[in-house]
Amino acid sequence: MILGVNSLLRKNKTKPLIAYDTNGHVIYVKGYSKLIGPTYRLGVISAKGIIIERLRFAKSNADLGSSILIQKLIEPLFEQKTWTNYTRHLVLKNEKRADVVCKILKEQAPKELKWTYPKGGVNLWCTLPNEISAVDLLNSVMYKEGISFLPGVMFYYDQPKHNTFRLTFSYLKEQDLKKEL
């Protein structure tokens, strides 16, 4: 069973790339820290062929294995309906938040700001006019207003788009979204 974050946090029917891999060319890496709790540092790797053995060996050499205690504490969560119920709750909660955030932006944001409705995850990808730098905007509002977002330049390895940013909507409670946005 492959549990992808997009399938868990949104009603996204897109399968992970590994589901289409018949030749063993794809390595699927999935972290559960955002879903369970950041201190757990739990994730999975799925791959086919010899590469999975090499990855297992590399991991055991890097950290001498994962904590058995943490694995034993979390194991029941994945074996029972608890995980299914929890993820269904997240889907509904985050879809509602996405709708609220998009509605607020549509009503209050400057018309020059563009955004993409999320098909997965808990972020909106936003685009400013070309002449506005998201890094400069962040520096000007973060300290004055306590506003934070992640500039898009962090996501590009080549030819970054300085006028983009990622806005996460999972942290705030629904009743605080309007005030904070």
CATH of the domain at 153: 3.90.1150.10
Considering the domain architecture, whether residues 32 and 10 belong to the same structural domain is answered as yes
Cα–Cα distance between 90 and 44 in angstroms, integer? 20
* Residue 62 exposed, middle or buried by CB count within 10 Å (0-12, 13-18, 19+): exposed
Is 133 within the bounds of a domain? Answer: yes
Cα–Cα distance between 146 and 111 in angstroms, integer? 23
Give the pLDDT confidence score for residue 12 in this predicted structure. 58
Is 12 within the bounds of a domain? Answer: yes
Considering the domain architecture, whether residues 96 and 74 belong to the same structural domain is answered as no
Could you give the number of structural domains in the chain? 2
Considering the domain architecture, whether residues 17 and 69 belong to the same structural domain is answered as yes
Is 87 within the bounds of a domain? Answer: no
What's the pLDDT tens digit per position in 108-145? Answer: 989 999 998 877 778 889 999 999 999 998 888 776 77
164 and 128 Cβ atoms separated by less than 8 Å: yes
Is 86 within the bounds of a domain? Answer: no
Considering the domain architecture, whether residues 138 and 167 belong to the same structural domain is answered as yes
The pair of structure tokens assigned to 54 is: 């090499």
Considering the domain architecture, whether residues 40 and 107 belong to the same structural domain is answered as no
Considering the domain architecture, whether residues 9 and 46 belong to the same structural domain is answered as yes
Of 79, 103, 134, the domain-final residue: 79
Task: Match 């997240």 to its residue by tokens.
Answer: 90
Of 23, 50, 79, the domain-final residue: 79
Q: What DSSP element (H or E) covers 165?
A: strand 164-168
Considering the domain architecture, whether residues 170 and 98 belong to the same structural domain is answered as yes
Considering the domain architecture, whether residues 104 and 173 belong to the same structural domain is answered as yes
Give the pLDDT confidence score for residue 59 in this predicted structure. 78
Give the pLDDT confidence score for residue 115 in this predicted structure. 93
Half-sphere exposure of 133 (CA within 13 A, CB side): 7
Task: Match 């060319």 to its residue by tokens.
Answer: 25
Is 84 within the bounds of a domain? Answer: no
| pLDDT exceeds 70 at position 26 | yes
Give the pLDDT confidence score for residue 38 in this predicted structure. 66
Q: How large is the average pLDDT for residues 20-26?
A: 87
Domain of residue 31, residue span: 5-79
Enter the pTM of the model.
0.69
Is 128 within the bounds of a domain? Answer: yes
Q: Which residues neighbour 17 within 8 Å (Cβ) at sequence distance 6 or greater?
A: 26, 28
Q: Give the phi and the psi of residue 44 in degrees, each rounded to 5.
A: -135, 155
Considering the domain architecture, whether residues 28 and 59 belong to the same structural domain is answered as yes
